[in-house]
Structure 1
Amino acid sequence: MAAVLLAAAVTTTACGSTDDSAGAGGSGRTTATLASLDPQPIAEHPASTLPVTVRSFDGVDVTITDTSRIVAADRYGTLTETVYALGLGDRLVGRDTAAKFPAVESVPNVTPSGASLSAEAVLALHPTVILTDTSIGPRSVQDQFRAAGIPVVYFDPTRTLAGVPTQIRAVADALGLPEQGRALSDRTATQIAAARAMAPTDGTPPKIAFLYMRGPAITMMAGPGSGADSLIEALGGVDAGTAAGLTEQFTPITSEALIAAAPDVFLMMTNGLESIGGLDGLAKIPGIAQTPAGKNRRVVDMADGALLSFGPRSGDVLGALATALYGPPPQ
């Protein structure tokens, strides 16, 4: 019965919107979609138990006495998503560019360039606590916040599916919500496990390449440690960039690298794909047409703010990608 309930939880919250695809080895573009882009809060307006002292990821003990005005900022939107899913969305006064889900659209963006904090923008919000990591900076600005007497808590910048539950609990502990953190962590871990089970265990694993694109000037292929490799592994695939010998998280695309990677499927962010003109624009990039994925125009894409968020929506994201890649699970 538990297995049935878990499967239902995934299939009712994640779905794939298919254009003309036919599984991992088929052809065409498939857009993976979520039933809701907003995370589901584990509680409504929970009361924080404060003060609390936590060990920040940079080794500093930080004491938090007030969580009424929270700024959450990292490169992926993970921390903003987690704060919202813990039930503290009404206390968010600042978020990062990557946090794109509808519920926080009106929250001021404190990383207008995407990876750099604006000191003036943050200080003007009068935060009582700042949640961040080293994926953004500059560190001198983050140090400036501490010098101003604002508690600044760093978290692990590594993004993997395995690390999601631990990250959730760490954020919850810093906000004085250990009970809600455990509940949200457990719920997310259960959803991730159910989504993993959607991947086929027989046959040849598909070779999947994650491409990051922002117009023709920025074209990158992911490798080890990108976060995308973790998603691809959970989908039962092989990360094409890593298999081809890439050593960096993201490497500028060359035709030689693409041909050597020989992916069966391209995984992309929706806006990134549209920024180069969709499938037709993708086909014009040197080397694409010489790959199995390029010949079959096989692309799975997903909303930019969801695909690499690695927060409480991770199970939904993985389930939607699995559905887009392999088709709906049998009922």
Structure 2
Amino acid sequence: MQLKRLRPTIILFAACLLLSTAAAAREGYQRIVSLNGTITEIICALGFEQQLAGVDVTSTYPATVQKLPKVGHNRNISAEPVLALRPDLILATANFLPPAVIDQFKHTGVKTVVLEQEYSVEGTKKLILEVAAALQAPGKGEALCRQLDKERQALHIVQQSKKVLFIYARGAGTMMVAGRETPLDRIITLAGAHNAATGFRDFKLLTPEALVAANPDVILLFDTGLQSLGGVNGLLKVPGIPQTTAGKKQKVVTMDGQLLSGFGPRLIQAIRELSEKINA
């Protein structure tokens, strides 16, 4: 039934892709499409950037990958633009890619590897090793994990009582706060602070009442999020912000979104930078 629902363009690709899969397995993958920014970072850190044929729009690092063809956002990927790049390997994470799209990829015969992402240092190492295995380069994965361990050993984080609230903003219209079991919750904890939002999981709409109740010492945003609000002055116009300790002291911290929440090869750098900015 799935094949009947596939568009003709996908079926046209199938024959060529089936023929190329065996050769790709022997010679190493030559046309990789990554559907996750962290996976893209890992692919590049392992030395396979030249094999990338396309990426999703969350793939922003290293900067050179931004020149590659984009196949959309990983939250709403469709099969056609991905298959149009004639990939011999598709890499993605399970938290975003719809199962129906995964089935479409597999029906065409394209090697598709869908990985689970865990937001911890050990989870990052596991993801690195799994991507390296998919690229048939386990030794490179082990070397990258050793480098991550070396960086972690040199990291000294002081635990503190500061409460940090992450706000996801794209303009003042819709703003969300990060609760428990989110990448932002985990990175705040790793940086030695506490998530000010504790009563819920995932993300929740920001309300003035919730802001005042959380009363964060620090407000954390992606740098693009603060820009969308018009900077700190714009943020201070959001109802509830001026009544918080962070608002009164104008203690606002911003970081690059992929660095802060990606949990990729730069994880230790992200922890160190966030800790330093919280304590500045």
Report the counterpart of residue 94 of structure 2 in structure 1: 134
1:297 and 2:245 aligned = no
- Give the distance between the partners of 1:300 and 1:64, measured in 2 at CA: 45
1:85 and 2:38 aligned = no
Regions of 4+ moved over 6 Å = none
- Give the distance between the partners of 1:224 and 1:137, measured in 2 at CA: 22
What displacement does 1:272 show? 0.5
- Once superposed, what is the RMSD of the aligned Cα atoms? 1.9
- Give the distance between the partners of 1:282 and 1:184, measured in 2 at CA: 39
Larger helix fraction of residues: 2
The one-character-per-residue Cα deviations of 1:284-327 (angstroms, maximum 9, x if unpaired) are 11111111111111111012232211110111122222222224
Q: 2:80 aligns with which of 108, 120, 125?
A: 120
- Give the distance between the partners of 1:194 and 1:205, measured in 2 at CA: 23
Report the counterpart of residue 172 of structure 1 in structure 2: 132
What displacement does 1:174 show? 1.2
1:274 and 2:227 aligned = yes
Report the counterpart of residue 30 of structure 2 in structure 1: 68
1:208 and 2:168 aligned = no
The one-character-per-residue Cα deviations of 1:134-161 (angstroms, maximum 9, x if unpaired) are 2323321221010000011111133333
Cα distance change of structure 1 residues 193 and 252 upon mapping to structure 2, 3 Å threshold: farther
Alignment coverage as a number of residue pairs: 257
CA contact (8 A) 2:117 2:124 kept: no
| Structure 2 gap ranges (5+) | 1-20
| Structure 1 gap ranges (5+) | 1-49, 52-62
SS in 1 for 2:105: helix
Report the counterpart of residue 108 of structure 1 in structure 2: 69
Equivalent position amino acid for 2:248 in 1: K
What displacement does 1:114 show? 5.0
1:230 and 2:149 aligned = no
Q: Which one has more relative contact order, counting CA pairs under 8 Å at least 6 apart?
A: 1
The one-character-per-residue Cα deviations of 1:243-263 (angstroms, maximum 9, x if unpaired) are xx1x22111101111111111
Cα distance change of structure 1 residues 193 and 143 upon mapping to structure 2, 3 Å threshold: farther
The one-character-per-residue Cα deviations of 1:205-229 (angstroms, maximum 9, x if unpaired) are 2111111111112201101111111
Q: Which sits farther off after the overlay, 260-269 or 156-165?
A: 156-165
Identity %: 37
Could you state the TM-score of these two structures normalised by the residue count of structure 1? Answer: 0.73
Could you state the TM-score of these two structures normalised by the residue count of structure 2? Answer: 0.86
- Give the distance between the partners of 1:120 and 1:307, measured in 2 at CA: 31
- Give the distance between the partners of 2:161 and 2:51, measured in 1 at CA: 44
